[in-house]
Chain A
Amino acid sequence: MTYYGGHRGRSAGVRRGRTWSIAALLFLIGQLGIPLLGLAQDAASTAATVAYRDIPQLGGSRNIIWVIAQQHLLLAGFVLGVPIFAWVCEIVGVRTGDKRYDKLAKEFTKLLTSAYATTALFGGILLFMLLGFYPKLMAYLTDIFFPSFVVYCALFLLETVTLYLYWYGWDVMQGGGRKGLHLFLGFLLNVFAFFIMIIPNSWATFQASPVVVAEGSALARAWAATWNPTWWPVNVHRLIANVVLGGFICGAYAGMRYLSANTHEERVHYDWMGYVGNFIGVFGMLPLPFAGYWLMREVYQYNQQMGITLMGGFLSWLFILQAMLIGVLFLGANYYFWLGITHRIEGSEVKYRRPIMAMLVILLLCLGVWMTPHSLVASLEEARRMGGTHHPLLGVFGVMSAKMTVVNIMILVTFMSFIIYWRAGKVETATWAKVAQKVMAGVLGLAAIVVIVLGVWGYFVPAIVRINYFSVVQVLIVLFVLVTITPLTGLLMKSARTTTEMIWGRMPPRAGYALVLNAVMVILLMTLMGYARSSSRVHWHVYGVMRDSSQYAFSPALGYAAAFMSLNTFVFCLLVAFIFWVATMGDKTKTMEPETKKKLPAGAYPAMAGGSPTLDDRNKQ
């Protein structure tokens, strides 16, 4: 193995014949020297000559970093997302007195401990690899961000302590005031986790959107670099996406267990757990396009060149792939809701067949528009007949106005699927129920019409009006629908009489597969957007500041990248499966304890429970 700095690594492949064990040994020796190189800035004469190192025998430095960083990021997303909803589940459990939620939260916190260790492990590997492969870049980043490194380490200590207290204290802190303490620990856990997420975000976003770092104290410099233009958009986007990831992985785990369940109790439990996971994932997903939209706006504002590279240039096809994945995700999530309606609620199949079909048709029409690319792939002959790669009619579907409109409609449809599921098998008894229903239908219909009108109108106004006003209004309308109808339905359901109880554990196997599919889609989306984020910097380590002069400065083609994304997704799924398997190995010997439940009126169960659990008790007997 040879070190080469700044040159296109012709020499790198020369010694390929050497066995890689020797290479690895040399690499380890090299690793020992790295801290010295990093620290010895005054003696820059030796350190500055080594800009890059490589292990071509293992696929090259970039591919190694790609896999390791992706695994670390996915695990981290999971580890940060799960505490959020474990904590929420715990609160719901305390509020309703339903032990199932507490059990669910505990089940996931148990996974958290081993997942947390694995995340840290991959983080450590990533750090060593980065130090080894990119000494120049790392020296530069360390120079700017050293104070936040220290804070990051301190946060890690706090997070670890809190996590251990939270998990090992679960059973001890059950009764009375101690439960409050436990909830507070959960809150602390999430606060630390949030800061642990946003600090590395500042490093990554600084690479994408650097600001000029002037003279000053180390702290002032780090602070200035941290507040770069895309930092908060990425923070918000990732926070929501982590919840989505946690929810859908929870769903996939439940789906998996549901498929291999042997007893009726298991089927009931995992059917319900899959429902909760899907619910959290879907509800997290609804505001995600808005967060993404904000992020893209900031990118455009920071540097249009980067914005165009992403949306209209080299990476534009990537967004078609993204649209496909999101489309499948929307279909999968709705499919699961609809399966729930037809299988869990007896007699509802005939009743809801037509509304479901209407929603399906609307969803498919929206997806058709959503997936139509702006620039088409066409053979020469086809292009000639069309008159360029711009189709006169479908070019209309390719622009932002159409995409924003259909994604808002898709969100509304998904939301409607959920509302129908929620209300299925119940009869409203409130005196004002008729009025409320009319109001809700009106709000929904009106919102859809306004969104479409704004979308069509958007073609006839300057881009700036569309972006600054129309799109924002569309988003606000959809959010308004979400925040008005949800509590209204909640109120209605509180007094509703249940005519047909929900029966858990009767879903067909394809529901389990749908849950797995949704999780795979979310993971694939994250790997895809990781590639987008990284490629939008093109040949820069730090955009416009530090150039990538290694042999890997090019951005690989999408097909090659997609193969890596698939590989990363598969490896991550296996990792998670392994963690789950290890963490639940002890369970099989234990017998399920009989559960005691407080009896509550049917409507008092939160939306997340998907109805009242009274029939579950009957089923269990």
Chain B
Amino acid sequence: MKGGLLLKGEVLLKKCGVFLNRGGVLLKGVLLIVGLYLFLKFILPLFTAPLPANLIFLYLALTVAGIVIFATLSSESTEEFFGPIVRFLNGERQTGPMKIARLLVLVLFPLLVGWQTYTSTVPSDMPPAESRTIHPAPPGEFVGLSNPIPNTPENVMMGKGLFAAFCSPCHGANFDGKGPAARGFNPPPANFVDSGTIAQLQESYLFWRIKKGGVGLPIEGMPWKSAMPRWELELPDEWVWKIIMGEYDGAHQKPRTWE
């Protein structure tokens, strides 16, 4: 997936680069920006989940920086790039539509800034954007524990059985986070098959998450921002360790180790 996107981006940027070489730096730059925006906003979501707005902004900002850097490398291209903008804003010897366009820009731009400021400060019923840290730091007593249960087929089987009984309603019988009760939860239950979840974590981390649940999350994970129950009230430690083994085995992942 990653290679495909990189390739696409490269091809796109290269094509635009060929355009850029043929002069008209400003125009081609604007075209590149618009094209990239349309690609990120409308074409990319056809293949994968849509990007959040601030990420699109980040990529566009990078592209703008690149265009400005390339355009200002030599004096000639700088003049070619900024000249039209400066002349347009100066308004010297302008007639007809250009004159009106300049006036419009000079009037509308402050209005745009004002509108932007207004919309960003006006009270809205939208909840604020969140930066939820998915894997916050565990408390000290859970750091460095290792699984005391021997990794035998019987124990793994028992762990899978316990998983089916307690965890699969949300995390799914296939360990993919798509259990029958998963819909409606925000954030959704973790998908253990994804290499970004339990494969990144140690067994002791899972032990903490299962025992303390969503309530036990620290501030950066936003307490109460997970519907995970506090299993320490119902399951003995030994079962929890077995469930962890079952999860890793069932999801075909390996726990992270440090040495």
Let me know if chains A and B touch directly in the complex, using CB atoms closer than 8 Å.
Answer: yes
The answer to whether A464 and B258 touch (CB under 8 A), given A356-B73, A361-B14, A387-B49, is: yes
The answer to whether A386 and B126 touch (CB under 8 A), given A313-B136, A365-B6, A462-B256, is: no
The answer to whether A343 and B74 touch (CB under 8 A), given A361-B10, A393-B1, is: yes
B258/A300 in contact, CB under 8 A: yes
- 0/1 string, B1-18, CB within 8 A of A gives 1: 111011001100110010
B195/A456 in contact, CB under 8 A: no
B1/A313 in contact, CB under 8 A: no
A338 CA / B258 CA spacing, docked (Å): 42
A504 → B minimal CB distance (Å): 17
Residues of B within 8 A of A367 (CB): 62
A590 CA / B54 CA spacing, docked (Å): 55
A361/B66 in contact, CB under 8 A: yes
A390/B2 in contact, CB under 8 A: no
Residues of B within 8 A of A327 (CB): 62
B130/A377 in contact, CB under 8 A: yes
Residue of A nearest to B127 (CB): A380
B124 → A minimal CB distance (Å): 10
Stretch at the interface among A8-16, A260-268, A394-402, A605-613: A394-402
Interface residues on A, range: 35 or more
* Docked complex: B1-39 residues within 8 A CB-CB of A: 1-3, 5-6, 9-10, 13-14, 17, 20-21
- 0/1 string, A375-417, CB within 8 A of B gives 1: 1111111111111111111111111001000000000000000
Residue of B nearest to A508 (CB): B75
Residues of B within 8 A of A354 (CB): 21
Stretch at the interface among B137-145, B148-156, B239-247: B137-145
Interface residues on B, range: 35 or more
In this assembly, does A534 line the interface, its C-beta being within 8 Å of a C-beta of chain B?
Answer: no
The answer to whether A395 and B196 touch (CB under 8 A), given A375-B134, A383-B130, is: yes
The answer to whether A393 and B5 touch (CB under 8 A), given A308-B136, A360-B69, is: yes
Residue of A nearest to B136 (CB): A313
* Docked complex: A180-221 residues within 8 A CB-CB of B: none
B72 → A minimal CB distance (Å): 6
Q: Which of B14, B54, B133, B256 contacts A316 (CB 8 A)?
A: B133
Residues of A within 8 A of B52 (CB): 376-379, 382-383, 386, 391
B82 → A minimal CB distance (Å): 11
Residue of A nearest to B132 (CB): A389
In this assembly, does B259 line the interface, its C-beta being within 8 Å of a C-beta of chain A?
Answer: yes
The answer to whether A303 and B129 touch (CB under 8 A), given A388-B187, A395-B196, is: no
B1/A396 in contact, CB under 8 A: yes
In this assembly, does A368 line the interface, its C-beta being within 8 Å of a C-beta of chain B?
Answer: yes
Task: Show 8 A/B contacts (Cβ-Cβ < 8 Å), sorted by A.
Answer: A305-B137, A306-B137, A312-B137, A342-B73, A353-B73, A368-B59, A391-B52, A396-B2
B residues with a Cβ closer than 8 A to A are: 1-3, 5-6, 9-10, 13-14, 17, 20-21, 47-55, 58-59, 62-63, 65-66, 69-70, 72-75, 78, 126-140, 143-144, 186-188, 194-196, 199-200, 202, 218-220, 254, 256-259
Q: 3 closest A-B pairs (Cβ-Cβ)? A: A308-B137, A313-B137, A378-B52
